[in-house]
Amino acid sequence: MPTDHRAQVAELMADYRRSRERLAETHHDLSSIAETARSKDGSVQVVVGPQGVLREVVLSDDVYERQRPAQLAATIVQLTAAAAQAASRRAADVLAEVLPAGTDPELLLGGHAEGASDSAPRNESRRFDDNVDDDDFSDASWLRQGPAGREW
């Protein structure tokens, strides 16, 4: 008695479409992350996108009267780091919704496991196909690349 596999194939195709749609949504959510940080006096504002990329710096007209150049530079670096940390937390939250239970999104985003030393060397971001063994994808940066290999 022949078995009709059309229903099974239709179910698999529906699952595939749902997975692709969820992946597209997740990618959109990740790429649209932007975090803003402001100095206490409001004279400096930075906007950081995904992966901690600095997108915008806004300085008040009188910031040069308030801060010396070295202080202004340090303020920009400090605000950028704070905004990048917030962006990373948001990215981890987005990924946590789609990852299997027990998977640490911070590790996938290049963060450290709990208890790991901050002085431990971090893996450098690299293309997926650069020196990656076929069976070991632990250093692959596939989460950092969007369409056409662009980073998000």
pTM of the prediction?
0.62
Q: How far apart are CA 138 and CA 145, in angstroms?
A: 15
The predicted-structure confidence for 69-78, as pLDDT tens digits, reads as follows 999 999 999 9
The pLDDT, as a whole number, for residue 149 is: 54
Beta bridge partners of 58: 45
The more confidently predicted of residues 93 and 47 is: 47
* Helix 69-96 and helix 6-31, axial crossing angle in degrees, nearest 10: 160
Which domains are present in the chain? 30-101+122-146 (3.30.1310)
User: Is the pLDDT score of 13 beyond 50?
Assistant: yes
Q: How far apart are CA 36 and CA 13, in angstroms?
A: 41
User: Is the pLDDT score of 33 beyond 90?
Assistant: yes
The predicted-structure confidence for 85-123, as pLDDT tens digits, reads as follows 999 999 988 888 888 887 787 777 776 544 444 433 333
